[in-house]
Amino acid sequence: MAVALLTLAGCAVPVDAPPVAPQAPAPSPVRPLPVASAPYDATPGNAARTFVQVMRRMEPAVERECVTRRTRPINCDFAFVVDDRPGLEPNAFQTVDNTGRPIVGFTLSLIAQTRSADEIAFVAGHEAAHHILNHLDRKTGAATAASVVLGSIASAYGGDGSAVARAQEIGASVGSRYYSRDWELEADYLGSIITLNANYDPINGSRLFERIPDPGNHVLGTHPSRAQRLAQVRRAVADVQSGRIQ
């Protein structure tokens, strides 16, 4: 009987295992936003203290992002400065010194207009993004090309030296403005990512746009409308949270 049982077991027909249903891919983890910085009383002292604190965190973060994201061998040793001359309008700017070192500057009046650490961080990230994206050289190139074109047209139509020079000035101005709005939106996008990776909230930071004049959508305006810029910040944050970009 034992032999028969063993023989039957050896002849048993294997039964196919039921098919395993394919598993849906695990959803990408949603990256939470940093806790928004608390607003502070709009006094020069509070703004100045917050500025110093933010720069201590933003400077290494900006330089790290520059090394990671640059597309050409640019200098990533940033300097953050304050233009303390009285009477200057609220402004932030990006330039390079005579050694090629990138400079991000703030006027005192702009710092005084901020209401949170996130706003200061967002401005710093935006200006740094202009350098990382090579906008300064691209702006110079666009201005030079337009200047040459309009100068040549004026000369061809019989303009004298002063007319040609004036046409070149107009061409340089138009050329430098032509791509400005696109570049501002590019800097808003990358600046938002830099701000987020430094653990500041760019959405809260972009509230600064709500307190400055809306440039609208003028043909030769150098900045996009407020609605465009706020939408660009939200898009950058959504791309980081969804994992589409780091």
pLDDT tens track for 208-219: 999 887 766 544
User: Mean pLDDT of all residues in the chain?
Assistant: 76
Q: How far apart are CA 181 and CA 219, in angstroms?
A: 10
What 3-state class would DSSP assign to 182? helix
Q: To which H or E segment does residue 96 belong?
A: strand 92-96
Name the DSSP letter for residue 34: P
Strands 79-83 and 102-107: parallel
Q: Which of 134-138, 169-173, 183-187, 207-211 has the lowest mean pLDDT?
A: 169-173
At 162 the pLDDT is 56
Residue 79 has pLDDT above 60, yes or no: yes
The Cβ of residue 181 has, within 10 Å, a number of other Cβ atoms equal to 20
Which of the two residues, 126 and 27, has the higher pLDDT score? 126
At 23 the pLDDT is 53
What 3-state class would DSSP assign to 107? strand
**Cβ partners under 8 Å of residue 148, min gap 6:** 168, 171
User: pTM for the complete prediction?
Assistant: 0.72
Instruction: Tell me the average pLDDT across 42-57.
Output: 89
What type of residue is 188? D
Q: How far apart are CA 157 and CA 58, in angstroms?
A: 53
Per-residue tokens: 235: 């898009």
pLDDT band at 60 (very low <50, low <70, confident <90, very high): very high
Q: Helix axis angle, 180-197 relative to 226-242, nearest 10°? A: 40
At 32 the pLDDT is 80
Q: To which H or E segment does residue 83 belong?
A: strand 79-83
Count CA atoms closer than 13 A to 212's CA, side-chain side.
23
Residue 27 has pLDDT above 80, yes or no: no
Q: How far apart are CA 123 and CA 69, in angstroms?
A: 18
- Check if the beta carbon of residue 147 is closer than 8 Å to that of residue 173: no
- Check if the beta carbon of residue 150 is closer than 8 Å to that of residue 171: yes
Instruction: Tell me the average pLDDT across 211-235.
Output: 78
At 127 the pLDDT is 94
Q: How far apart are CA 136 and CA 101, in angstroms?
A: 13
